[in-house]
Structure 1
Amino acid sequence: MSSTVDIAVVPVEADRDAELIHSWTSQERAVFWGMLDKPVKEVRDIYAWIQEQPHLAAYLVHADGAPVALFQTYDPFVDEIGEFYDRKAGDVGIHLLIGPGKRGPGVSAALLQGLADWVWSDPAHARIVFEPDARNDKSVAVLHRLGAEIGPQVDLPHKRAQFGFLTREAWFSGRR
Structure 2
Amino acid sequence: MTREPTADHPTEPLPDSLPEPATSNRLLSGARGAEVWRADVPGAGTVTAHVLDPVADLDVLHEWVNRPHAGFWGLAGLSREDLSATYAFVDSLPTHHAYLVRWDGEPVVLVQLYHPEDDPVSTAYDVLPGDLGMHFFKGGDGPAARHDVVPWAVVGPAVLAFAFARPGTRRLVGEPDARNRSAVARMAAFGFEAAGTVRFESPQGPKEAVLAFCPRERAEELVAAAFGAAG
User: What TM-score do the two structures reach when normalised by structure 2?
Assistant: 0.71
Q: State the identity as a percent.
A: 29
2:171 match: 127
Match of 2:120 among 76, 80, 104: 80
Structure 2: distance between partners of 1:100 and 1:31: 17
Match of 1:97 among 130, 133, 137: 137
Return the letter of the residue paired with 1:129.
V
* Aligned partner of residue 151 in structure 1, secondary structure: strand
2:219 match: 171
- The answer as to whether partners of 2:103 and 2:142 remain within 8 angstroms in 1 is no
Tell me: CA distance 1:116–1:12, structure 2 relative to 1, closer, same or farther (3 Å).
same
Please give the root-mean-square deviation of Cα atoms over the aligned residues, in Å. 1.9
Q: Which of 31-40 and 165-174 deviates more? A: 165-174
The alignment of Structure 1 onto Structure 2 pairs a total of residues equal to: 175
* Aligned partner of residue 16 in structure 1, secondary structure: coil
- The answer as to whether partners of 1:133 and 1:161 remain within 8 angstroms in 2 is yes
1:160 match: 208
Structure 2: distance between partners of 1:109 and 1:82: 31
* Aligned partner of residue 85 in structure 1, secondary structure: coil
Give how far 1:69 is off. 1.2
Match of 2:192 among 119, 126, 148: 148
Give how far 1:3 is off. 2.7
Bigger Rg, structure 1 or 2: 2
- Is the helix fraction higher in 1 or 2? 1
Structure 2: distance between partners of 1:8 and 1:173: 21
Report whether the alignment pairs 1:56 with 2:113.
no
User: Which structure ranks higher in relative contact order (CA pairs < 8 Å, sequence separation ≥ 6)?
Assistant: 2
Return the letter of the residue paired with 2:185.
A
2:107 match: 67
- The answer as to whether partners of 2:113 and 2:163 remain within 8 angstroms in 1 is no
Give how far 1:147 is off. 2.6
Return the letter of the residue paired with 1:110.
V
* Aligned partner of residue 22 in structure 1, secondary structure: helix
* Aligned partner of residue 117 in structure 2, secondary structure: coil
Cα distance per residue 1:50-86 (max 9 Å; x no partner): 0100001011110111011111111011112122112
Structure 2: distance between partners of 1:112 and 1:132: 16
Match of 1:19 among 59, 78, 101: 59
